[in-house]
Amino acid sequence: MAKFGVGQSVKRKEDDELLRGAGAFQEDLNLPGQAHAYFLRSPHAHADIEKIDSARALAMPGVVAVLTGADVEADGLGTVPCVMDAFVPLERPGGIPRYYPPNYLLPSARVRHVGEAVAMVIAETAARARDAAENIDVTYSELPCVVETDGAEAPDAPTLWPEAPGNLSFVWEHGNRAAVDAAFEKAERIVSLDLVNSRVIVNPIEPRGAIGSYDEASGRYTLHTNNHHPFEARAIIAEILHCEESELRILAGIIGGGFGMKHMVHPEQPLVAWAARKVARPVRWISERGEGFLSDTQARDHVSHAELALDNDANFLALRVRTTANLGAYVSNLGPVSPSLLYTRMLACAYRTPAIHAEVRGVMTNTVFTDAYRGAGIPESAYLVERLVDKAGRETGLGAVEIRRRNVIPADQMPYASPVDIVYDSGNFEKNMDDCLNFADWFGFAQRRALAHERGKLRGIGMALYVESTVGDPNESVTIRFNEDDSVTLTAGTKSSGQGHGTIFAQFLHETLGVPFDKITYEEGDTDALPQGGGSGGSRSTYMVAAAVKLGADKIIEKGKKLAAHLLETSATDIRFDGGQFTVAGTDRAIAIMALAAAARDTAKLPAGMEPGLDESAQSEIEDPTIPNGCHICEVELDPDTGALALEIYTAVNDFGRVVNPQMLEGQIHGGLAQGLGQAVFENCVYDSDSGQLLSGSFMDYCLPRADDMPEFYLATNEVLTEQNSFGVKGCGEAGCIPSVPAVVNAVLDALASRGVEQIDMPLTPERIWRAANANG
């Protein structure tokens, strides 16, 4: 194993620059001559715009322009599209096409959620732009609103879009309805559950931002923006601006967290590019934190009814799911994909359930639009299934462990084709569970519960299995360039949002070519650098780039053997490559790859017909997903007198295939666990049902978990290699937040079982726990 290769806990290359404060985030970027943008946002959830009077604002010192929806329409700009039809074409009942409303850059006639931008002020400073926005007079005629997911289709609910009666955007069905109905007919037991998967606000540490510029001479736009899929952003924004993709360059620097939200194009990004052309100077915008609460894509927000059919031996026969998913006022770039395909195709989870049928109704409400967030539909499916399985364990008397053991997919059935059209290529789910039970001392829990009882506390333990399918663009590009200063530059089309891509990908390059690890630099985030890039999302980047690096390395090795043979005066068939050395077989005659790269730049040293340089480009193509999986166990203790909840111990056993960097993997899991536990226990996105106001619009009202809220994490891995890529790697970035939510909720329900509590919804606030614990006297 190479010292800095795959499998080693190599320290992150990125951290030195970041810890010294030398990293350039979006906020750190300024362009000469730039102006600053500020967006005036609607205070109403649903209202007609009667008039926008910007005369006072335009007369203020330092104001360059005030742009509104009328200006957008006059210039013929497009709307922010939903690109779902390329992935899953959806319909409404009766074969009526789905309805995706126009997502206006700036609406001219009506606003549909609090925080929707209605005017863009451009001024010499951000402060002057903000002050000028306060002097724009907007006359609204307020309309009734609807914000509740389960109320969107009510007969008396106000309609957001006339083209979508009942606020219904689509209905998605997946699975075999007839087989499920037949299985329920013969079932010995039916377990049912109603639950809410609560809405979350993403809140990465770095807000969104963008700086647009336009070069009149070349006719090209340049957009600096913290987006972790710059190539897709380029395609979408070029469509909005009605320009060719070649006329738009996207540059993304260091990103301080994205979690899916920064994958999406938001209206402000094309607006600053358009505005830069109109005012003939760069236009800069950075979101304020409160602005992000009102305008960043939000996530989750399901209301579901689920039923599980079992036979007399508690074997699962069928699963039936009915879900209403809240899309918000508009339909974001990929808004429908999470609650449709990505959600329903993982409803088998880790179990042999012969028949599954799901129906999802995508509805629109006067709320911020939702889209993919870490896990993208899979945390929602795992939460539903694992809550339901736990309830089945209680109702059958088998308990959480035995009900799972009877129904878990055995390793000898891999590859396993689930009834919702996905194949699990590898995994040992039962071993994950057995290891996790042992590490968590599950069977010694009764003693810990008794000790807690003596102290007047309720202690609970909960578990959850999960299976994830990694998704994303099936293509990824890289270039490998040998520089004259003996460094090597690796460029990839994906984009890190804090995961440490530069370190991981350097490990692959070091492993495959043996180039010195400390000589490898990593570049990303520039759409001019490569013809194509798949972006970060769906836990795809590691294995997609690894495969592309391997393809590029193979090309370099093949060319290197020919050049080495020429320099060492032998046949190319006699050259062997290993550990960065080209060696003549059976001899000690060799040349190192970096020396060979230097020779390759010297045309005098090349054989006839060989192009100079060892540089290569490669593109991987992997259609099939990887299938990470695992078992998580959470142990909690709560105070029935106050509702205070303590997350005591968290144990997780995961299968990510071949582990690339154990230390960085642990960091990824810790982050995912914190986000999952955050949704389960702390985060509560609340809209007022009458006014549509976001009541949790700041950190005074929306609680994110802190380090001291987290339990001790005990992590282990089972490496079951996949054959879907050359390194056997499975994605890991989203796994932590998938099972953590049901694990902690199941643990709290276990703690409350002695009080007769059978149901509780997120978030598990002290008030909610206290009410549940004391509801029965």
215 contacts 31 by C-beta, under 8 angstroms:
no
Q: Which helix (H) or strand (E) holds 272?
A: helix 268-279
Exposure of 687 in the CB half-sphere (CA atoms within 13 A): 30
Exposure of 769 in the CB half-sphere (CA atoms within 13 A): 30
Taking 70 as the pLDDT cut, the residues of the chain under it are 1-2, 777
Please tell me the distance from the alpha carbon of residue 240 to that of residue 266, in angstroms, as a whole number: 11
Please tell me the distance from the alpha carbon of residue 720 to that of residue 618, in angstroms, as a whole number: 27
Please report the sign of the dihedral spanned by the C-alpha atoms of residue 81, residue 626, residue 468, residue 230.
negative
Please tell me the distance from the alpha carbon of residue 98 to that of residue 404, in angstroms, as a whole number: 38
One-letter amino acid at 177 equals R
- Give the three-state DSSP class for 670: helix
Please tell me the distance from the alpha carbon of residue 26 to that of residue 524, in angstroms, as a whole number: 15
Quote the tokens at residue 23.
Answer: 């990293």
| Alpha helices, DSSP H, located in 88-229 | 126-133, 177-185
Q: What is the DSSP letter of 164?
A: S
> Residue 746 — φ and ψ, nearest 5°?
-60, -35
Residues 6 or more apart from 711 whose CB is under 8 A from it?
634, 635, 647, 648, 649, 650
pLDDT value at residue 676: 97
Cα 278 off chain centre by: 34
Please tell me the distance from the alpha carbon of residue 536 to that of residue 231, in angstroms, as a whole number: 11
208 contacts 27 by C-beta, under 8 angstroms:
no
Spatial CA neighbour of 405 closest among 381, 380, 434: 434
Provide the angle, in degrees to the nearest 10, between the axes of the packed helices 378-396 and 399-407.
Answer: 110
Please report the sign of the dihedral spanned by the C-alpha atoms of residue 765, residue 668, residue 336, residue 369.
positive
pLDDT value at residue 777: 67
Please tell me the distance from the alpha carbon of residue 569 to that of residue 282, in angstroms, as a whole number: 58
Residues 6 or more apart from 226 whose CB is under 8 A from it?
25, 26, 206, 208, 209, 210, 252, 253, 255, 256, 258, 262
pLDDT value at residue 171: 98
Please tell me the distance from the alpha carbon of residue 337 to that of residue 260, in angstroms, as a whole number: 13
End-to-end CA separation in angstroms for the chain: 62
Please tell me the distance from the alpha carbon of residue 483 to that of residue 614, in angstroms, as a whole number: 10
Please tell me the distance from the alpha carbon of residue 720 to that of residue 427, in angstroms, as a whole number: 6
Spatial CA neighbour of 504 closest among 664, 684, 710, 289: 664
The CA R_g of the chain, rounded to the nearest whole Å, is 28
Spatial CA neighbour of 190 closest among 375, 348, 319, 38: 319
Cα 245 off chain centre by: 25
Please tell me the distance from the alpha carbon of residue 130 to that of residue 120, in angstroms, as a whole number: 10
> Residue 6 — φ and ψ, nearest 5°?
-65, 130
Q: What is the DSSP letter of 158?
A: P
Between the alpha carbon of residue 437 and those of residues 426, 460, 632, the distances in Å are 21, 14, 9
- Helices and strands of the chain, counted as H and E runs: 19, 30
Please tell me the distance from the alpha carbon of residue 459 to that of residue 449, in angstroms, as a whole number: 5
Provide the angle, in degrees to the nearest 10, between the axes of the packed helices 230-241 and 268-279.
Answer: 50
CA angle (316, 319, 325) in 5-degree steps:
150
Please tell me the distance from the alpha carbon of residue 461 to that of residue 422, in angstroms, as a whole number: 31
100 contacts 84 by C-beta, under 8 angstroms:
yes
pLDDT value at residue 471: 86
Spatial CA neighbour of 768 closest among 67, 21, 196, 345: 196
Spatial CA neighbour of 192 closest among 80, 293, 310: 310
Q: What is the DSSP letter of 705?
A: P
Please report the sign of the dihedral spanned by the C-alpha atoms of residue 292, residue 297, residue 300, residue 301.
positive
Pairing of strands 520-523, 488-492: parallel
194: number of Cβ within 10 Å: 12
pLDDT value at residue 299: 97
pLDDT value at residue 1: 52
Spatial CA neighbour of 401 closest among 459, 314, 493, 477: 314
Between the alpha carbon of residue 124 and those of residues 41, 64, 121, the distances in Å are 20, 7, 10
